[in-house]
Every structure is written in C-alpha cells, then in structure tokens.
Chain A
C-alpha cells in the first residue's frame, strides 16, 4: 500500500491534454515538494518534474505539474505517441521518515 495513490491506468488520443493524479496526505504532498518520473519499459526512470512544477533541461513544456492541498497532478498537453509510458509521483513523507513513490500510472496513447 503506497503512501501516494495513483490510478493504475489512463489513456488519451494524440493531441489531447491528459492529467494524471497523485493523492497523498499532510505528511507528504501537503508539506513537501512533489516530483514526477517517466519510465519506459525496460529502462530507468527519468526525472520529469521536480519541486511541483520545475522541468529539467530537455523536458518539453508540454509537461507541467501542479499541487493543491494533499494532491498533485501531472498534465501532458498535445499528447504524442512517444508519451506512452509509466508515470510515478514521489515525495518525502515526514511521518514515515521515508521518500515515497506512488504506485504509478500507465499512460496509453490510443
């Protein structure tokens, strides 16, 4: 049982905007920055968004992050076929004294 809850799957069509959710609590998302990772099958995760909405160099501005209370969201605009991947949210949890990840959302581009 992950401290951060993500829907197991989501889908969209090319050009669409999709939003992936991540639900937590006051001890993690409510009080610490949220980060998002993208993972393709058989490869290591890649940092996509950090500190809620910052993008590392090279990450397209189609990807954006927001936070509201104890939930966070990753929005992908102008969805492309190469965005089909698993997406994980993560944050430090002050109660567990641990860095926690969501269970991940598999995004399918139809």
Chain B
C-alpha cells in the first residue's frame, strides 16, 4: 500500500527558508511513469501546485513562486524534498506531497503538514 508522509518544522520565521521532506513507502520513487509533486493549501483557501520532479529528471515549478522553490530527490532514502526561500506570511499553508500519474494527475497524497510563517 503506497503511503506518503510529509515532515517539517511546523513553524518558520519570516524571511527564512522552509524545508520539507516527503518519505515514500510501498513504492519506489524511481518507478517509471510517475512524477512526484508538492502542492499547498492556505487555510480556508484552494489548492496551489508548487512543483514536480521525476526521479532522474529536472524539476519544474509553478512560475508564481518566482524561483523561491527548489525540489530534489534522494533515491537512496526514497524521499523527495522541498525548499522555499524568503518565506512570508502568505506561505502559511498545509503542504501536501503527492505521486502523479503523468505530470498532472495526483493519484496518491500525503496527509499534509501545516506550516505557519510567523515571528
């Protein structure tokens, strides 16, 4: 049974860097045909795609984040990670990791982790 689990600090100070990790179990992150993605949801609002990565390819990002996001993969740990630099209160959200069929169908999601940006 595929499971994804996000882990992160919970609270980040403004202007600092947010770092999250998604641990994948029940499937290899190197499995062909699947991309891996980060998606976030501000409290009470809708979903926003942050970016995606293939295990052996270049990541690609939502241009709205203006190059603040970086996604990487660690195949040895079956994990992928997200870094968002220069965070502000508008980055406060539940962050989800997900497995994709192709580039735009999230068929498995993590439970999500709430990241608050506050001094």
| CB-contact partner of B49 in A46, A47, A99, under 8 A | A99
**CB of A36 to closest CB in B, whole Å:** 10
Q: Is A44's CB under 8 angstroms from B110's CB?
A: yes
**CB of A11 to closest CB in B, whole Å:** 19
Q: Is A56's CB under 8 angstroms from B107's CB?
A: yes
In the complex, A20 has a CB within 8 A of chain B: no
Taking CB atoms, residues of chain B closer than 8 Å to A98 are 49, 62-64
In the complex, A24 has a CB within 8 A of chain B: no
CA distance A94 to B18 in the complex (A): 29
Q: Is B103's CB under 8 angstroms from A92's CB?
A: yes
In the complex, B15 has a CB within 8 A of chain A: no
Listed residue (A43, A44, A92, A102) with the most chain B CB atoms within 10 angstroms of its CB: A44
CA distance A101 to B48 in the complex (A): 7
Number of interface residues of A (CB under 8 A): 26
Taking CB atoms, residues of chain B closer than 8 Å to A99 are 37, 49, 52, 62, 103-104
Taking CB atoms, residues of chain A closer than 8 Å to B48 are 101
Taking CB atoms, residues of chain A closer than 8 Å to B80 are none
User: Which residues does A use to contact B, with CB under 8 Å?
Assistant: 2, 32-33, 35, 37, 43-47, 50-51, 56, 88, 90-92, 96-104
User: Which residues does B use to contact A, with CB under 8 Å?
Assistant: 37, 46-49, 52, 60, 62-64, 96, 101, 103-107, 109-112
